[in-house]
Amino acid sequence: MPQDTAFTLPFRAETSPDADAARHRSLRWSRRQGLVTDPVDEARFLRWDIAGLMAGWNPRAVGERLDLTVDAVVVATFLDDHVDGPPADRPDQVAAVCAELADVIATGGQPPEGAGPLVRAFGDVWRRLADGASPAWLERTGQHWQWYLDAYVQEARNRARRRVPTRAEYMDLRRRSGFVYAMIDLSQKAYGFELPGRLATDPVVRRMLDITADVVDTLNDVHSVEKEESRGDLHNLVFVIENEPGRDRADGLREIQGMVSSWAEEFLALERRLSSAVGLRDADTAERIVDCMRTAMSGYLEWSRTTRRYSHPVPADEPVLAVDPVKPDRTVR
C-alpha cells in the first residue's frame, strides 16, 4: 500500500518526552472545546495521533508550548475532515466556514456570536498564539493561516468542476493547502523565538521553507492517497501525475521518491550556504529555524508512515465526522 512507500531523509527523527502526556491533554482540550462529543469521533481522533505528530515535529517542546502546537493542528485537522464531508464540492459552503475562521484572526481571537465549536476552538488557539507575539510575527502567521483557508475554497471549486489541476497549478496550491508554513510558525512559538523579517524574506531561507513544505506535502500525498481516493478527491500529486499522458501509479510513485530525495539534497546544500552567509547577528536564529525545518520533515515522515489516519481511513459510506463541528447547537463539555 502507498503508506509503505519507502522514503529516506538525511535528518534524525526525535520525539518529545512529553508525547504521551500531550496525547491525554489534547483529548481533554478537544472535549472541553466541544470538538469531541461522540464516541465515534473520539475513536477517530485517537487514530489521528496529532500529539504524536507534533511531538516529532517539535521534539524539544513540552507542556503548554507543545500543547499549543497540538491544539492548532487539531483545529486544522477537524477543518480538513469537515470539508471532506458534504461541503467538499460546494464552494459557497466552504467559503462561509473559512470566512468565520478568518474573522477570528481579524478580531484577535474573538469568534463570531453563535459560532460552532470549531470556530470557538480556533479562537482559543489564536489568543494563545497572539500572547507575547510581535505584531510582525502575528501578521505573518495570520497570512499563512489565510493561505490555508483560501486553498480550501479553491479545492472546492476544482471538485465542483471535477477539474484535476496541472502539476504547476497543483504545486502552487499545495504549498498553501498543506499548512506547513503555519506549522513552522508553531515551531517558533514552541521554542520561544521569532524569525525576523530579514530572515523570513531571505531567498535561501525562503527556498528552504518551500522545500520543507514540498517534502511534507508530498509525503502526505503518497501516504494518504488511498484515503483520498476513497472519497473521490482530486488534490493529490499521485493523481496529478497519473492524469498526465502515459503515466501510471507505479511510475508516479517512483518519480515522487526521486523528487523527495532531490529536495533533501538541495536542502542540505542550502543549509551549508546559509551557515556560511548569515551574519553573527542572525546565526543563532538561523540555526534554530533550520533545526525546525529538519525535525518537521523527519517528524512528519515518522508519523505519516505509521498513523492509523491513513492505514484505517473512514469508510467511504460513512461521514468523515460523526458530529458536525461547525454547527453552533452543541453542548461544550
CATH classification at residue 90? 1.10.600.10
Please report, in tens digits, the pLDDT of each residue of the chain (333 residues total). 577 898 999 999 999 999 999 999 999 999 999 999 999 999 999 999 999 999 999 999 999 999 999 999 999 999 999 998 888 789 999 999 999 999 999 999 999 888 999 999 999 999 999 999 999 999 999 999 999 999 999 999 988 988 888 999 999 999 999 999 999 999 999 999 999 999 999 999 999 999 999 999 999 999 999 888 877 788 889 999 998 999 999 999 999 999 999 999 999 999 999 988 777 678 999 999 999 999 999 999 999 999 999 988 888 888 889 999 998 854 443
Question: Looking at the domain assignment, is residue 277 inside a domain?
Answer: yes
Question: What single-letter amino acid sits at 71?
Answer: D
Question: Looking at the domain assignment, is residue 25 inside a domain?
Answer: yes
pLDDT at 126: 98
> Do 182 and 141 form a contact (C-beta atoms < 8 A)?
yes
Question: Looking at the domain assignment, is residue 154 inside a domain?
Answer: yes
pLDDT at 232: 77
> Do 30 and 42 form a contact (C-beta atoms < 8 A)?
no
Question: Looking at the domain assignment, is residue 49 inside a domain?
Answer: yes
Instruction: Take residue 54 and report the three cell numbers written for it.
Output: 507534533
pTM: 0.94
Question: Looking at the domain assignment, is residue 142 inside a domain?
Answer: yes
> Do 286 and 77 form a contact (C-beta atoms < 8 A)?
no
pLDDT at 252: 92
Name the residue among 225, 261, 268 with its Cα closest to residue 4.
Answer: 225
pLDDT at 277: 77
Q: Annotate 252-290 with b (16+ C-beta within 10 A) or e (fewer).
A: bbeebbeebeebbeebeebbeebeeebeeebeebbeebb
CA distance 242 to 248: 5
Question: Looking at the domain assignment, is residue 317 inside a domain?
Answer: no
Question: Looking at the domain assignment, is residue 324 inside a domain?
Answer: no
DSSP state of 326: S
Structural domain total, the chain? 1
> Do 101 and 119 form a contact (C-beta atoms < 8 A)?
yes
Range of the domain at 170: 15-311
CA distance 34 to 30: 6
CA distance 189 to 85: 31
Question: Looking at the domain assignment, is residue 5 inside a domain?
Answer: no
